[in-house]
Amino acid sequence: MTDTPESLIIRRPDDWHVHLRDGELLRGVAAFTAHQFARAIVMPNLSPPVTTVDAASGYRDRILAAVPEGVSFTPLMTCYLTDHTSPDELERGHREGVFTAAKLYPANATTNSAQGVTDVANIGKALERMAAIGMPLCVHGEVTDAEIDVFDREKVFIDRVLAPLVRELPELKVIFEHITTRDAVQFVDDAGDDVGATITPQHLHINRNAMLVGGIRPHAYCLPVAKREEHRLALRKAATSGSAKYFLGTDSAPHARHAKESGCGCAGIFNAPFALESYLQVFEEEGALDRFERFASENGPRFYGLPLNEERITLERTSVDVPAEIDAGDTTVVPFHAGEMLRWRLRR
């Protein structure tokens, strides 16, 4: 092992999967993402979901209004696919620079996905159009069949939905988002260059024990749910491998504290405030600090066909205390790593 440097200077990273919410909560959380990242792919699972060009451009305006003055941040918008999405609307949004990508939520797979797609056959025409115009597809990769165990839902999705889709439309750019299994890593490794994946900080840090040992811990619950240790290790290997197919996507998903600490707690981990610090610790532990920039700042824009950021940021090797909770607008949110100490800090 070579000595760990005291600081790391890299291109400013982007977040290729984030939930910024709307209203008060948006105003409470936007600054955290904007301080950490130059751009972010913003998820459309609002209520009601973002299904039109007009809705996305209105939402983009509200996001920009919530970003603190003097902070440069570009939200990249996505269109929520439903059984009735019009290929023309997708194409218009993409052409006008409003929709960077479209998002496939299998109906009822996760938060605000009730209006998602009930069968991928229903969006066949939309996907063909996306492939034709080079518009990427973001995918929440879990089946929802009641008889499939929640820990197997990603693997079954690969076999039943994703593999056939990629076979039938090989020219479609697909981002298999927030992957959580060795099976997903295997699938992405074996697929062509038009298949990439995002990996969250939580799935690199925790396995399912974090959620279930010594009491039930709602702040470690997100979807897809964290899996066994062997899967976490496979994800760490993939993220730090240097492969161009894997890139940063936090899936930061804030829910009010009371909505998570409940008889039926919401899925989602709020990791935006210390996302880079959290990822970087993993790369340090894996002896892969030299590969962090690729994962955080290069692979994502290259996959999406967007320019790399020219700004640089500095991460310092100094400890930082993560607060037990964070005020976000009119509510309180518990961040990932609450009450822990992390070993890196983003210089402001």
Ligand X SMILES: NC(=O)N[C@@H](CC(=O)O)C(=O)O
The catalytic position among 251, 290, 321, 330 is: 251
Q: How far apart are CA 347 and CA 165, in angstroms?
A: 43
Among 154, 183, 194, 251, which residue interacts with Zn ion (rule: CB under 5 A)?
251
Site for ligand X in 24-63 (CB under 6 A): 45
Per the rule left: phi > 0, alpha: psi between -120 and 50, beta: everything else, 166 is: alpha
What six digits make up the tokens of 31? Answer: 């600054």
14 is annotated as an active-site residue: no
Binding partner of residue 313 among ligand X, Zn ion, none, CB cut-off 5 to 8 Å per kind: none
103 binds Zn ion (CB under 5 A): no
| Strand order across the beta sheet in which 195-199 lies | 15-18, 39-42, 74-80, 99-104, 137-139, 174-176, 195-199, 246-248
Which residues face 246 on adjacent strands? 197
Least Å from the CB of residue 250 to ligand X: 10
Which residues face 345 on adjacent strands? 316
284 binds Zn ion (CB under 5 A): no
Q: Which stretch binds Zn ion (CB under 5 A): 110-118, 229-237, 299-307, 329-337?
A: 110-118
Residue 178 marked as a ligand binder: yes
Residue 20 marked as a ligand binder: yes
201 binds ligand X (CB under 6 A): no
Q: Are 318 and 270 in contact (CB under 8 A)?
A: no
Residue 45 marked as a ligand binder: yes
Residue 21 marked as a ligand binder: yes
**Residues ≥6 apart with Cβ < 8 Å to 75:** 20, 39, 40, 42, 60, 63, 64
Binding partner of residue 267 among Zn ion, ligand X, none, CB cut-off 5 to 8 Å per kind: ligand X
Helix, strand, coil percentages for the chain (3-state, nearest 5): 40, 20, 45
Q: How far apart are CA 188 and CA 30, in angstroms?
A: 31
Q: Which stretch binds Zn ion (CB under 5 A): 72-80, 109-117, 283-291, 327-335?
A: 109-117
140 binds Zn ion (CB under 5 A): yes
Strand 99-104 vs strand 137-139: parallel, antiparallel, or unpaired?
parallel
> Of the two residues 240 and 250, which places its CB atom closer to ligand X in the complex?
250
- Binding residue ranges for substrate: 19-21, 45, 140, 223, 255, 267
Give residues in contact with ligand X (CB under 6 A). Answer: 19, 45, 110-111, 140, 222-223, 251, 253, 267-268
Give residues in contact with Zn ion (CB under 5 A). Answer: 110, 140, 251
By annotation, the residues acting in catalysis are 251
